[in-house]
Structure 1
Amino acid sequence: MKLARELGVSSKAVSKWMSGESLPRPAMMLSLAKVLRVDPLYLQHGEMAQAGELRLYKALTRGSFPLIDWSDIENFRNIDQTDFVRFRRYASGSILDTDEGYWLIVEDDSMTSPVGLCVPQASMILVETKREPTNGDLVIAQIPAAKKATFKKLVIDEGTNHRYLKSLNSSYGVVEIDDSCKFLGVVVESRLSFVTPDPADVTYI
């Protein structure tokens, strides 16, 4: 058995651990956790330990939100619950309606405008996932034909009730959307740091 070989114990010992007939000694528990790439507390107490760790982590980081990749947006809830120490977290100056949100880094200049509201490339934006989008909101949206989510302004024509996703940069086009467009959150804050590391970084792990 591969696990037995890696730990330097007999296959019989591993079988007893698997069946619950016996438990590894503390030192062996640490070695086992390292091989399996899990927390030792999880091996001893299962999901109760993980739930407790999550509650503690959320309490320590209240008022801050993780910086995630655009590719993680749709699976964010699952990742945040099971791999919550994976992300760096940043404090927010906004008061959110819920505790569910995340930061993204703006990847292009489509929301860069020479006048008025402007969210330049490389800015960090805070997305509140449970806020209902309204006319004029900046949103993260997923269009079925697109490979990834997009950051745009939601515009609703009150006369026709037609809806559009509009860039703040006039060199980009306007896209009309229908009910197949999925809104993934409303952007409630933006900031651009000029120092490294960001002084608002509140990573605890």
Structure 2
Amino acid sequence: MDKWIELVKAKMSELKVTQVVLGERVGMSQGGIGHWLNKRREPGVTEMNKVLKALGMDFLEVAVVIREPQVDADDEMPLAQKYNPYFRYPVSDWSVPSEVRESEPAYSGAKDKRRFELTGYHAPGGAAFWLMVSGNSMTAPSGQSIAEGMLILVDPAAEAVPGKLVIAQWPDSDEAIFRKLVEEGGQRYLVPLNPTWPKALFTDECRIIGVVVEATARF
């Protein structure tokens, strides 16, 4: 609770949002918001998530988690991750992964109909998103392999260096592609993990949308 209050107060100060305005966004009175922030009353999980969304932090989600206590009390884990070890990011469409992540999260009174998935990965900028793998270009007969139907988490803020799996897009293409960034002889290539697919020369015109930081399978 204390960490949630600290996080909310910091964001309200950053956005210059008053208790009155925040109350209007979540359907509460200014007094009710004040009771929460001053620990006179404790909001439920649903109310806590409404406040996060109202402050543009809907990439975070308060959840009840049963886990073993942390052994090391002197860690330097970010505040948001200490309070909430799980983060939710939207599942995007392959045809528009760049466009959907270029706009900052904003408060909306309408119900968000996008699909979200949880992960323990914390994207500092909050702009990560999921994609579902289509096709077999990244399915390898041995070693690293990402099969069709798996969900991959893309972080636009992560550094795209050789050896990383990336999402890239050429200006004349309507859709992005999933490949491994490889450097050979001073030149970079976008290489599929499936050896039957051809590799492509990485040029200045090609845009790296983000780095794949996690892959999961659903059964």
Q: Is the 8 A contact 1:97 1:131 kept in 2?
A: no
> 1:150/1:82 Cα in 2 relative to 1: closer, same or farther (>3 Å)?
farther
Name the structure 1 match of 2:79: none
Name the structure 1 match of 2:162: 135
> How far, CA to CA, are the matches of 1:93 and 1:149 in structure 2?
25
Amino acid at match of 2:156: T
> How far, CA to CA, are the matches of 2:53 and 2:152 in structure 1?
30
Q: Secondary structure at the match of 1:70?
A: coil
Please state which structure has a larger fraction of its residues in helix.
Answer: 1
Name the structure 2 match of 1:37: none
Higher relative contact order (CA 8 A, sep 6+): 1
Correspondence 1:119 to 2:146:
yes
Q: Is the 8 A contact 1:113 1:170 kept in 2?
A: yes
Unmatched runs of 5 consecutive residues or more in structure 1: 1-39, 42-50, 195-205
Q: Secondary structure at the match of 2:189?
A: strand
Number of residue pairs matched by the alignment:
147
Instruction: Measure how far apart 1:82 and its partner are.
Output: 6.8
The normalised TM-score by structure 1 is 0.63
Find the partner of 1:175 among 200, 210, 214.
Answer: 200
> How far, CA to CA, are the matches of 1:79 and 1:102 in structure 2?
13
Unmatched runs of 5 consecutive residues or more in structure 2: 1-23, 26-51, 63-85
Q: CA RMSD in A?
A: 2.8
Q: Radius of gyration: which is bigger?
A: 1
CA offsets, 1:20-79, max 9 Å, x none?
xxxxxxxxxxxxxxxxxxxx96xxxxxxxxx97253634436611111111221211338
> 1:90/1:145 Cα in 2 relative to 1: closer, same or farther (>3 Å)?
same
> How far, CA to CA, are the matches of 2:201 and 2:57 in structure 1?
44
> 1:135/1:169 Cα in 2 relative to 1: closer, same or farther (>3 Å)?
same
Name the structure 1 match of 2:67: none
Q: Is the 8 A contact 2:56 2:107 kept in 1?
A: no
CA offsets, 1:164-189, max 9 Å, x none?
00000011001012111100000000
Instruction: Measure how far apart 1:80 and its partner are.
Output: 4.7
Instruction: Measure how far apart 1:95 and its partner are.
Output: 4.0
Q: Secondary structure at the match of 1:74?
A: helix
